[in-house]
Structure 1
Amino acid sequence: MMGTPTARAAAVLLAVGALTVTACSGPVPATPPAAAPTGAAAGAMPGPGSVVRSSLDHAAMDAVVEQTATELHQPGMVVLIRTPHDEYVNARGVTEWRGSTPVTPDTKMRIGSNTKTMTGTAILQMVQEGKIALTDPVARYLPDVPGGEAITIAQLGDMRSGLFNYTETLELNTALDTEPGRVWTNEELLALAFANPPYFAPGQGWHYSNTNTVLLGEIAEQIDRKPLDRILQDRFFTPMGLRGTSFPAGADSTMPASYSHGYMYGTNVAQLSDPSLPAGQLAEVEAGTLDPADHTDDNTSWAGAAGRGVSTTNDLAVWVKAMVGGQLLDAATQQARVDSMLPTGNGADYGFALAQLGPLYGHTGGLPGFNSFMGYDPVNDVTIVAWANLAPAANGFPPAEAVVAGLLPLVYATPPPVPDLPEAQLPG
């Protein structure tokens, strides 16, 4: 059993993972379980004004990674952290359950909802090219979306459309369990979503919904007049030299060479209500008598533009720094993206296909068997990427977020105190 968290950092980061890991089969509760791995004593969640430590304690970080990976029964886990002062890389474990091939920063894995940042950035490039506007109604491009006249492109990107999340349907999750090789079309996925009432009127709330990003992918293909895999390859992967990154096309469920397998306990249907295993199965996991299922070759067409990408640790580090650092958009469009960040009510902000946690901007991603986190702090020039290949863990935790939560206190020192200034000088 894992120790009780001593820091808000762990709880908030795991809640963020709960928000964005839902490119997986179903929603994870926004409040993480009562026990969370920390691996290190932690203070408050680092804020935008946090100070980066002048050196990284690699031994202490190794201990956090080892503790988290062991407690969450991870076959493999990779962590990369870059600051202006130091770099930390830990590739711990193997690519297969009880296998022998070590994971590396160039091992390919499925990145789930981190794909959203790519789809969203492509749309924003089209915005700056004058091909589409964030204020455009969805109905201008896709007339069959219910209520699409009142939903804007911006509301698709920042999860404020109200459209139902198709990955929360029993129909999809049952099929993922019984027909893991099934090839899904966008029309089938959207039909699942549109058969359910919206969560709220457009712009009147926030709910993470993969339906939004699937629609953005459809719109991107309409504007660029080519499939999304070519759009992402031509706009990002080739010019940025991301040779380990791809977006599988059509019915392709194979992983490119030098990849990690991905494992999961339990079923997608069971995780609709609770991502953790029942007590009896948890005991079997702890005893080493219950093996997880291999989901590596599941067809991920159901994740579509919201979560079908494949990448590596090294590529995600390049991607997230370029995306957050403003290298992929002009200044005005980049600022509009940053300005779109609004609170979600779960300890994180969310904007146009981008999440913010304290000083870090990025995303998390989850599919059955895989969990990843990428973040970049543009003020302090800090990059953090982590992934793991058994997800969710038996206790329901997203392992990549868990390890990052434990490492954050070793990256950031205690934030500086607020100056004792007259009230009139404090920001409003």
Structure 2
Amino acid sequence: MRLRTLSLSVVACIATCALAALAGCAPEASSHSSDTSVTTPRADQRGRFQAVIDEALEKSRVPGAAVIVDAGGEPWVSLTGVSDTTTGAPIASRDRFSYRGITTSMVVTVILQLAGADLLKLDDPVAKWVPAVPGGDRITLRELAGMRSGLPNYSATPAYRAAVKADPAHTFTDGELLGFAFAEESHFIPGARYEYSSTNTVVLGQVIQVITGTDWAAAVAERITGPLHLTSVSYPGAGRIPSPSASGYRIVDGVPTAVQNPVASRYGAAGGLAGSLTDLDRWGQALGSGELLTPELQKARTDAASATADDPGSPDYDSYGLGIGEIDGWWGHTGYGLGYSTLVMNDRARQRTIAILLNGSPKDRDLPAAMFRKLAAILDDTAR
């Protein structure tokens, strides 16, 4: 597969535009300081960054990638490959991608905000808010946010897969998604261990609705994307990702196959949001720094982190807290689902963010994490 790779001069131009967009969208208080760690990636680093992206797309056969390495100075942006394999349209800086599991980090942030406003307690049993959850009197909101509830992942159930196969365009309700999970036996006693389950976040979305009187997507818009001016971020629900967007592809026997029915309601609060690269970069800064939370709640969020080794099917994290994962000391979230693979990670101490959007779901579900580890290692290389 031939990759469309931007020259470094073009990348630099796009990076400048991206920075201007971020500056226009950010709150008055800058997310960066005058710390000496704030820097712009060197020319030799930029070439190595691009080599990582080129290799990943070539091996995975994913059609395109939008990547930003933001070290606090002028961000480096790469737009590689195509957004549509039929037309050959190149990946563009304004293209929206599905964020998939990164949505979870926003939903849990709303839960933490509600805790900060004394509208709920993290150790409330979920039955207090959503009585239909099996064993909900023993499962806390904290355990749901930390993926330690024991509730099965609805998307892994045979019933869910059969329903999607029977009607790929079906618009799912939260009740339907949860019904697939609730029909299965719990996997373990709440709090006993970690296991990533999208069911947890869908339940938290229902908690948000009960407390705020509005659905989870509206609460995210009011409390997160609005204040941060993330104007590209939306929940398509039963519709398609708003234009301009990068088409999603499954990789079947090494061939990108267009997703015909990219229904966001399959994922709901666990992965339904879509948005652009620059808005994802901005969200990564807010998520890692905790700017939308009190310091105490951000500390509770990361202090709750536990190793992910208990779950061999977990996304690639070294540890996972409350709606936030950790890789090599960076904090953020990843996402994977039909047609898209994503990641955003932030190094709060050194004010650095890396965001990756791929318009493909390859066999390697952790491809963005593997790319991130390589990009972060290059960024850490201070040799000249």
Structure 2 letter corresponding to 1:235 = R
When residues 155 and 397 of structure 1 are mapped into structure 2, their CA distance, relative to the original with a 3 A threshold, is closer
**Residue pairs, 1:7-406, within 5 angstroms:** 55-56=41-42, 57-84=45-72, 87-249=75-237, 252-266=238-252, 281=253, 285=254, 291-295=255-259, 297-345=261-309, 348-393=318-363, 396-406=364-374
Structure 1 letter corresponding to 2:285 = K
Distance across 2 between alignment mates of 1:161 and 1:108: 32
Structure 1 letter corresponding to 2:344 = M
Distance across 1 between alignment mates of 2:155 and 2:209: 22
When residues 86 and 55 of structure 1 are mapped into structure 2, their CA distance, relative to the original with a 3 A threshold, is same
Q: 1:334-379, CA deviations, whole angstroms, 9 ceiling, x for partnerless residues?
A: 1111211111127511111110111210010112110010000001
Matched-pair contact (CA < 8 Å) for 2:345–2:354: yes
Matched-pair contact (CA < 8 Å) for 2:236–2:242: no
Once superposed, what is the RMSD of the aligned Cα atoms?
A: 1.9
Distance across 1 between alignment mates of 2:342 and 2:168: 21
**What SS class does the counterpart of residue 136 from structure 1 fall into?**
coil
Structure 2 letter corresponding to 1:399 = L
Structure 1 letter corresponding to 2:268 = G
| Structure 1 partner of 2:376 | 408
**What SS class does the counterpart of residue 242 from structure 1 fall into?**
coil
Q: Could you tell me how far 1:61 is from its partner in structure 2?
A: 1.6
Where relative contact order (Cα < 8 A, 6+ residues apart) is larger, the structure is 1
TM-score, with structure 1 as normaliser: 0.75
**What SS class does the counterpart of residue 203 from structure 1 fall into?**
coil
Q: Could you tell me how far 1:69 is from its partner in structure 2?
A: 1.2
Matched-pair contact (CA < 8 Å) for 1:344–1:350: yes
TM-score, with structure 2 as normaliser: 0.83
Distance across 1 between alignment mates of 2:256 and 2:334: 22
Q: Could you tell me how far 1:241 is from its partner in structure 2?
A: 0.9
**What SS class does the counterpart of residue 88 from structure 2 fall into?**
coil
When residues 347 and 325 of structure 1 are mapped into structure 2, their CA distance, relative to the original with a 3 A threshold, is closer
Distance across 1 between alignment mates of 2:262 and 2:277: 21
Distance across 1 between alignment mates of 2:295 and 2:317: 27
Matched-pair contact (CA < 8 Å) for 2:63–2:256: no
Q: 1:121-144, CA deviations, whole angstroms, 9 ceiling, x for partnerless residues?
A: 011110000000001011111112
Q: Which runs of 5+ in 1 are unaligned?
A: 1-50, 267-280, 286-290, 415-428
Q: Which runs of 5+ in 2 are unaligned?
A: 1-36, 310-315
Matched-pair contact (CA < 8 Å) for 1:111–1:367: no
Q: Could you tell me how far 1:84 is from its partner in structure 2?
A: 3.7
Matched-pair contact (CA < 8 Å) for 1:255–1:297: no
Matched-pair contact (CA < 8 Å) for 2:335–2:342: yes
| Structure 2 partner of 1:39 | none
Distance across 1 between alignment mates of 2:124 and 2:67: 40
Distance across 1 between alignment mates of 2:335 and 2:40: 30
Q: Give 4+ residue runs of structure 1 displaced > 4 Å after superposition.
A: 51-55
Structure 1 letter corresponding to 2:198 = N
Q: Could you tell me how far 1:188 is from its partner in structure 2?
A: 1.4
Q: Could you tell me how far 1:54 is from its partner in structure 2?
A: 7.9
Q: 1:243-284, CA deviations, whole angstroms, 9 ceiling, x for partnerless residues?
A: 1101234xx222201000000034xxxxxxxxxxxxxx4xxx
**What SS class does the counterpart of residue 266 from structure 2 fall into?**
coil
Distance across 2 between alignment mates of 1:383 and 1:162: 32
Distance across 2 between alignment mates of 1:150 and 1:185: 25
Q: 1:217-242, CA deviations, whole angstroms, 9 ceiling, x for partnerless residues?
A: 00001100012221111112222111
When residues 191 and 370 of structure 1 are mapped into structure 2, their CA distance, relative to the original with a 3 A threshold, is same
Distance across 1 between alignment mates of 2:130 and 2:113: 19
Count residues with an aligned counterpart.
338
Share of identical aligned residues, percent?
29
